[in-house]
Amino acid sequence: MSALKDLVEQHKEQFLNELFDLLRIPSVSADPKYKADVLRMAEAVKDSLIRAGADKVEICPTPGYPIVYGEKIIDPSLPTVLVYGHYDVQPPDPLELWTSPPFEPVVKNGNIYARGSADDKGQFFMHVKAFELMQKNNLLHCNIKFMIEGEEEVGSSNLDGFLLANKERLKADCVLVSDTSMIANDIPSINTGLRGLSYVEVEVTGPNRDLHSGVYGGGVANPINVLCEMIASLKDDNLRITIPHFYDDVVELNEEERNALNSAPFEVEEYKRELNIGDVMGEKGYTTLERTSTRPTLDVNGIWGGYTGEGAKTVLPSKAYAKISMRLVPNQSPDTITELFQRHFESIAPAGVKVIVKPHHGGWPVVTPTDSDEYRAAAMAMKTTFGKDPIPARGGGSIPIVASFEKILGLKTVLMGFGLDTDDIHSPDEHYGVFNYLKGIETIPYFYQYYAELKRK
Ligand code: BES
Ligand code: MN
Ligand code: MN
């Protein structure tokens, strides 16, 4: 397989052009105005799997956006790997902050700029291209099943149903996912955990209509002022979350685990410089690496109300809103946390306002093992192509389906992502390194080779 690097190099232009075709489709799952594009994207994924040589390729309907399935069973006695990815992307807004249009991919400074380039089109497509290479060059050592969904960015609410209804079809030995990041291009790492999520929207209502802020101001609750105070009270001086029982189920790491986590390469000065911030900020008693991976969070994602147009309008608004996310760690349950939040937030509202808490999607946190054959195969594959052993590192993001793979299918997942934290996923100017894309295509075939070898023993 030493020829793999050359094979990838030979097909470089083709691999890039084919990815560009996918990046041109604005498959934004959150906004119904893109519905036709999301469905067109599912067709494009299907076609790409067929061209790569997959069998039984099918667009499987769900109550939401469909799941694209395809497989190659070369020998039922060989191990089977279920590859998961998502073809939907986050909304591109705010559009004016993009240097080039989000759905017109371009390569600049060695990076592919486009919404979805890193999350997750560029990453799942590495698997399609790697499969095609293995298929055409007789290098495939495992059976492969592909499951590429279209609702990851909106919570994968139809996936559990799909897993339950397709247990037999999805039978495999492990799940392989590229939808996370590495520490750096010269410091490969494998994600060994994801945080869970509880996402809520709150609505605070004061007076029954917008009022003149001079005539009524000072006499009634201003829902925006109240909302800000309520949100501020959700953390104490040590930046610990004040919701009663919030930390009850949190697993604390022991000294050894904390030391291992904190020994990963990380430069706080570089972190500050890259983000242009004067200092880091977070829960007292924990390092930045811990705060962003093994500790739960509460963050306002958006807040609005009143007048935000040009100039000034003296108005005392009737309503204020906020979207709030809580990242969870083992063993916090998204449903329990949402309930605790709701109860607490309603209880701290002053009598002058009414509060409604609307739960959105959630997801369970996961920790993936490092002593499994699939982890070992991924580590050996990365070692082969990067020349360095990858570091196991817990990540801060969420991929809710990973917990479902374990709960419903009994499968462990290996999170072999090739992105970087600085890829600006979900942000303007999202990008993915050409190096990362090609390195992924080169590394994936080794995973199958080593996995088959380890499983044979
Ligand atoms: N690929 C990301 C998750 C991710 C990114 C994990 C980087 C680790 C490192 C995924 O597409 C994502 O954005 N997930 C959402 C959760 C979902 C329920 C909207 C998230 O983490 O906000
Ligand atoms: Mn993703
Ligand atoms: Mn995402």
Strand 391-394 relative to strand 189-194: parallel, antiparallel, unpaired? parallel
CATH 3.40.630.10 domain extents, the chain: 4-194+365-456
- Tell me the CA–centroid distance for residue 174 and ligand 2, in Å: 19
Res. 380: pLDDT tops 70: yes
CA of 250 to the centre of ligand 3 (A): 24
Give the contacts of 353 (CB within 8 A, at least 6 positions apart).
Answer: 204, 205, 206, 221, 223, 226
Our mutation pick for probing the ligand 1 site, out of 28, 31, 152, counting the most ligand atoms within 8 A of Cβ, is: 152
Give residue-wise pLDDT tens across range 124-134. Answer: 999 999 999 99
Residue 238's Cα: distance from chain center in Å? 28
| CA–CA separation, 243 and 234 (whole Å) | 7
Superfamily of domain 4-194+365-456: Zn peptidases (3.40.630.10)
CA-wise closest residue to 448 among 57, 4, 122, 148: 4
The pLDDT score that the predictor gives to residue 1 is 53
Backbone angles phi, psi at 412, to 5 degrees: -85, 150
Residues with CB under 5 A from ligand 3 (ion): 119
Whether residue 2 has pLDDT greater than 80: no
pLDDT at position 3: 86
Q: Classify the C-alpha dihedral 337-342-343-346 as positive or negative.
A: positive
Rounded Cα distance, 244 and 443, in Å = 46
| C-alpha 121 – ligand 2 centre gap (Å) | 9
Looking at the domain that runs over 196-250+296-363, which CATH code has it been given? 3.30.70.360
Looking at residue 245, what is its pLDDT?
A: 98
**Of all atoms in ligand 1, which is nearest to the CA of residue 119?**
1
What are the start and end residues of each CATH 3.30.70.360 domain in the chain? 196-250+296-363
Stronger pLDDT, 456 or 379, i.e. the higher one: 379
Atom of ligand 1 nearest to the CA of 153: 19
Write out pLDDT tens, residues 300-343.
999 999 999 999 999 999 999 999 999 999 999 999 999 999 99
